[in-house]
Structure 1
Amino acid sequence: MAEEFEVHGPHDHELEHAAHGGDNFSSRIAVMTAIMATAGAIFGFQAGSTQNDAGMFKNKAGIVKTEASDQWNFYQAKSNKQNLAELALVLPGVDTAKYQADIARYKSEKEEIKKKAEELDKSSKEWEEKSDEVLHQHHRWAQAMTALQVAIALAAIALLTRKKWLQFASYGVAGVGVALAGCVWFLV
């Protein structure tokens, strides 16, 4: 039976040496790229989450604003009825006591409706402000994620060109991304 053996060419030898050798430059960049990619995934998740929250809050503000509008329309209808009752008072031969009671009732009902409409307007404004605040957070998370993506691209270029200054530039841009994320995370 014939023995099989494999002949390695010079290229194969270099690939094996590179894979198992002590290339600290490549190893450091590979580890940092993995860390940056992981952080970028977390920042991306946070950016998406805050964007969804901002949309939900904006939607809630619109719903509450519509409810307030309904109350203001109801208030206007009661005002119209009150005005008609006041007009009826000056007509000859009408039951003035009935129309005065209606006017008093409409005034009372209008106050309740007005109070509810004002509360809904206030609530709508609060939901709008909450949406704006969360949307601002979304922008910071997106900026942090973008900075990490740029840092990963710089790390790839540094690996290809073997330029130390690009490696440090990559770390610097990643640091900016982490700082942006830290501002959102800790200043909320």
Structure 2
Amino acid sequence: MSGGGFHVHGPHDHELEHAAQHEPKGLAGQLAVITAVLATVGAFFAYMGGATQANAGLFKNNAAIKKTEAANQWAYYQAKSGKQNLAELALVLVAEDKKPRYQDEIERYKKEKAEIKGKAEALEQESSAWDQRSDEQLHQHHRWAQATTALQISIALAAITLLTKKRWMEGATLLAGGVGVALGIAAWLHF
């Protein structure tokens, strides 16, 4: 109460002012710092988890595009094979004076097919490489997600510790946070 320039604090008011003016001490202060650090690290892990998930999808899309391009090359290869087969049939059926023309066509189709086959196989290899990169990113995403989940559990344990004021729960909070950080390091190192 205040009156005539004199102000009287209640015990609760005094504790609040003291806490606001001085750095937090004791269990509550420790948990506040631990929670802030865990939340900051968790935000980074969540970002990395989202980024690797997006990369996995992008890389899988690239693999599908290359696979489609390879299928187009194989269709082109089949078309050339059909034309080569017709030229081979014509070679048997036409008069001797026209045979060199069809023999030249057959040789041209063989050469074209070899080039097309090389392109198709290269595109299939590119598709496989994109698939592999996608799988690696998805694995890494799972690691980031595990790390984020462990940190979220750790933050929840910190809240429970604060409510119950059980010191041993602080150890559980730190242990869960340590597991989260270890999983984050594993994700960073691609394990």
TM-score by length of 2: 0.90
Deviations 1:139-172, CA, capped at 9 Å, x for gaps: 1011101110110010011001111121110110
Q: How far 1:17 sits from its partner (Å)?
A: 5.0
The amino acid that maps onto 1:89 is L
Match of 1:90 in 2: 92
CA distance in 1, matches of 2:21, 2:127: 63
CA distance in 2, matches of 1:98, 1:117: 28
Match of 2:44 in 1: 42
CA distance in 1, matches of 2:190, 2:59: 20
Deviations 1:90-121, CA, capped at 9 Å, x for gaps: 22447211111111100010000001100110
Match of 2:178 in 1: 175
Match of 2:119 in 1: 116
Q: Which runs of 5+ in 2 are unaligned?
A: none
Report how many residues are paired: 187
Please, which moves more after superposition, 29-38 or 19-28?
A: 19-28
Match of 1:3 in 2: 4
Q: Is the 8 A contact 2:140 2:190 kept in 1?
A: no
Please, which moves more after superposition, 27-36 or 3-12?
A: 3-12
Q: How far 1:84 sits from its partner (Å)?
A: 0.8
Q: Which runs of 5+ in 1 are unaligned?
A: none
User: Does 2:156 correspond to 1:184?
Assistant: no
Match of 2:153 in 1: 150
TM-score by length of 1: 0.91
Match of 1:165 in 2: 168
Q: How far 1:183 sits from its partner (Å)?
A: 1.3
Q: How far 1:10 sits from its partner (Å)?
A: 4.3
